Each structure stands twice: as structure tokens, then as C-alpha cells.
Amino acid sequence: AGAHLNAAVSLATCPLEQFPWWKFPIFVAMQTSGAFISTGATYALCCDTIWHYSNGTLAAFGPRETASTFATYSTDYLSLSNSFLDQEGAGVMGTALLTTGILDTHNKGVPKGLEPVATALLTFSIAMAVGFNCSCPMNPTQASGPWLFTYTAGWDTEVFRWVEAKG
């Protein structure tokens, strides 16, 4: 359909000469900025509830964490290795499946005009398949924009670290 909603899809189109390399960093910056601004808008809408729920302490992990409102984070019950595999493995696998589905030129079975619907169904299917533990980080800018926002909004560097499961 030509939309560059995912930095991984934008990157995949560069070696195929469907997108110029020089535009790639600009698109990633804009995609990340869009995710940052969208997270800020969500925070502005929900900040009173977040502060009430968290008892005034913004946390990315633990029983009163609120950072997962905006981005994907590991859960307390996953080991560090499974958390890494889930976040990075599912993210890589889901992104690869999404990119392959979008760029597939051999099986053009989607009627013209329904490409966005097919892409939405593909994204939904992948998220349901690999997003059980920690959501589904298929889009690098979808994760990095909210991480940057939560960092600047007061969650501090906690939003950038991996945690070992308890017990």
C-alpha cells in the first residue's frame, strides 16, 4: 500500500530499491517522533489515573507499574532468558512475518484497495500468535518512542533495563 508505518518495513524496502536509503533515517526519526508525541497525548489524557494508581511513584516493573500503558516490558514471572527471547525473538519473528506478508510479490491474492485490511489482519494474527507474554514488539519505533517518552516523563532509566524474575 506504500505506507511506512514500521521502521523494519521501511528498512526492508531499501535493499529492494523500493525506497531510497537516504530517506530511511528521516522516516525513522519521524516514526519515532510520532510514537513519542502519541505517547505524550495518551499520557496527558491518562496522567491523573496513572498518578492515582501508582500512588505517586512511576515504575516500569512491580505490582504498581504503569509504564506498560505505553510500551512493551517483560513480566515478573518470566526468566531473563525467556524475557529476552519473548521481547527480541517474538519481535524479530513477528516483524519478519509482517514484512514478508507486506512485501510478498509472488502471491498477490488481495484485491486492490483491500491491502490495508489485509495488513491489519496480518498484524492482528501475528500479535495474537506471539504476543502472549509481553505484548508484541513488532515495530522498533513503536517501542522506542514510548520508551523515550516514559524516560523523560519521570519513569527514569528503569524503562531501559531488563529484570530478572523473582523466585
- Assigned domain for 152 exists: yes
Greater confidence, 115 or 79?
115
Report yes or no on 150 lying in a domain.
yes
Asked whether residue 109 is assigned to any structural domain, the reply reads yes
Q: Is the pLDDT of residue 165 over 50?
A: no
Is the per-residue pLDDT at 63 higher than 80? yes
> Is residue 135, in this structure, part of any structural domain at all?
yes
Domain holding 83, by residue range, is 7-160
- The answer to whether residue 140 sits within a structural domain is yes
Query: Which of 106 and 62 is assigned the larger pLDDT?
Result: 62
**For residue 70, what are the CA distances in angstroms to 41, 137, 145, 147?**
11, 12, 9, 8
Q: What's the average model confidence in pLDDT over 138-157? A: 86
Q: Tell me if 2 is assigned to some domain.
A: no
Query: Count of CB atoms within 10 A of residue 14's CB?
Result: 14
Residue 88: band (very low, low, confident or very high) from pLDDT cuts 50, 70, 90: low
Identify whether 90 is part of a domain.
yes
pLDDT at position 104:
77
- In tens, the pLDDT along 20-56 reads 999 999 999 998 999 999 999 999 999 999 999 999 8
Establish if 167 belongs to a structural domain: no
For 115, residues 6+ apart whose C-beta sits below 8 A from its C-beta are 1
Residue 84 scores a pLDDT above 80: no
Q: How much is the CA Rg of the chain, to the nearest whole Å?
A: 17
Q: What is the pLDDT of residue 1?
A: 46
CATH number of the domain at 139, please.
1.20.1080.10
Contact between residue 66 and residue 58 where contact means Cβ atoms under 8 Å apart: yes
The number of distinct structural domains making up the chain is 1
134, 27 contact by CB (below 8 A): no
Lowest model confidence (mean pLDDT) among 19-23, 29-33, 121-125, 129-133: 129-133
Q: Is the pTM of this model over 0.85?
A: no
